[in-house]
Copies of this chain bind each other. A is one copy, B any other.
């Protein structure tokens, strides 16, 4: 397993934990929590794969995926995960996770012959639609659609930058790193400054 995979699975784990925390506020049972963990962590990539036509979808037959989702459920079940310090750590890893998921989503789409514009759409879907699906399962309006945090906007800007760099034959790893950093920075900065998109 190389460094990128370790980082990716760390991101998946944190996404899954946020799913379990959401399940807890709705008083789901353990099965419901595992479903919400899975949907939050893998829902965005699943929708991307379905739309592009990649089959089976990416997590099928990846035993580590089940393991990580179950681990996140058990850890969150037994440990108090809402102390201030853990909340901050989760938020930070989550911000970088969103960046990583966006760029990886764009890469998967480009490899499947999708145009740049739609690769960007697929990147945003990869990073944000897991949470959207989880919110639907919790029977609430997806928070990503409402003013509050610059979430999709961060993915849009960082993803565009990444595509721009790729276009000018910038080195792929460096472009990826910059894209992720920009997305995470915008997200963190927006939360601090309480920036949000205008209402429709």
Partner-B contacts on A (CB < 8 A): 20, 23-24, 26-33, 35-36, 46, 50-53, 55-57, 60-61, 63, 66, 73, 76-77, 112, 114-115, 117-118, 121, 132, 136-142, 144-148, 152-153, 196-200
- Complex formed: what's the CA distance from A136 to B118 in Å? 24
User: Is B136 in contact with A197, judged by CB distance below 8 angstroms?
Assistant: no
Smallest beta-carbon distance A80→chain B, Å? 13
7 contacts between A and B (CB under 8 A): A29-B146, A29-B199, A30-B200, A31-B152, A32-B144, A53-B55, A63-B115
Q: Which residues of B contact A142 (CB under 8 A)?
A: 32, 137
- Complex formed: what's the CA distance from A145 to B136 in Å? 13
- Complex formed: what's the CA distance from A76 to B199 in Å? 12
Q: Which residues of B contact A50 (CB under 8 A)?
A: 50
Q: List the number of copies, as a whole number.
A: 3
Closest-by-CB residue of B relative to A32 is B145
Closest-by-CB residue of B relative to A57 is B51
User: Is B144 in contact with A141, judged by CB distance below 8 angstroms?
Assistant: no
Q: Which of B60, B118, B138 contacts A60 (CB 8 A)?
A: B118
Smallest beta-carbon distance A94→chain B, Å? 18
User: Is A31 in contact with B153, judged by CB distance below 8 angstroms?
Assistant: yes
Q: Which residues of B contact A31 (CB under 8 A)?
A: 144-145, 152-153, 197
